[in-house]
């Protein structure tokens, strides 16, 4: 039962990401022809739009010839996250959320590679490469992970500083009591 509870957060987050990712890719493939763009407002089109695009490489279209490599990497990453997750303390919520986002993104693009043969990208913002929900989830997971690590480091330094101040105060009090005797 404990193992089920350990994985509940991971599979809830990653499951929601996979579902949203797969639905959005299916929606784009069924509504837009390859290369076709759509924007809800004409004035928004130069800045943000939906574009039906295929990607055989990594996130944001990097390394387009690496489909097999990225399929293997996604499998290894997913298995590593699933193995490592129960070892993450419950108090490290940022790390747990980050791993859920990264697992969902990795599985979303893996499912696309295995079922469709390519990853459907469709979110186009300015001149930035076209991406999808899974790519966003992986990127946001990395940001959450980095912010969590930064916050944890700050808390550790603060506790160390408070401990040093408390230790220093105790030494000073001891010295004062010796001098007054």
The active-site residue out of 21, 121, 165, 173 is: 121
Among residues 110, 120, 25, 101, which one has the least CA distance to residue 71? 110
8 Å CB contact between 25 and 109: no
Chain centroid to Cα 76, Å, comes to 16
The active-site residue out of 21, 135, 165, 173 is: 135
Whole-number CA gyration radius for the chain: 24
Reply yes or no on whether 6 is catalytic.
no
In the chain the beta strands, taken as DSSP E runs, fall at: 37-38, 48-55, 119-125
Task: Cite the DSSP H helix spans in 49-132.
Answer: 67-84, 93-115
Reply yes or no on whether 135 is catalytic.
yes
Catalytic residues: 121, 135
């Amino acid at each position: 039962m404990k193992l089920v509870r350990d994985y509940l957060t991971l599979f809830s987050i990653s499951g929601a990401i996979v579902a949203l990712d797969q639905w959005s890719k299916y929606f784009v493939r069924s509504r837009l022809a390859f290369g076709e763009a759509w924007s809800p407002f004409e004035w928004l089109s130069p800045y943000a739009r939906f574009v039906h695009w295929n990607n055989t490489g990594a996130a944001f279209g990097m390394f387009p010839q690496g489909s097999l490599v990225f399929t293997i990497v996604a499998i290894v990453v997913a298995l590593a996250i699933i193995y490592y997750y129960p070892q993450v303390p419950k108090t490290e919520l940022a790390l747990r959320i980050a791993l859920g986002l990264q697992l969902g993104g990795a599985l979303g693009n893996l499912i696309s590679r295995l079922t469709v043969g390519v990853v459907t990208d469709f979110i186009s913002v300015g001149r930035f490469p076209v991406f999808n929900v899974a790519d966003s989830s992986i990127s946001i997971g990395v940001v959450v992970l980095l912010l969590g690590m930064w916050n944890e480091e700050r808390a550790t330094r603060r506790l160390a500083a408070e401990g040093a101040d408390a230790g220093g105060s105790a030494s000073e009090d001891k010295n004062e009591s010796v001098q007054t005797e």
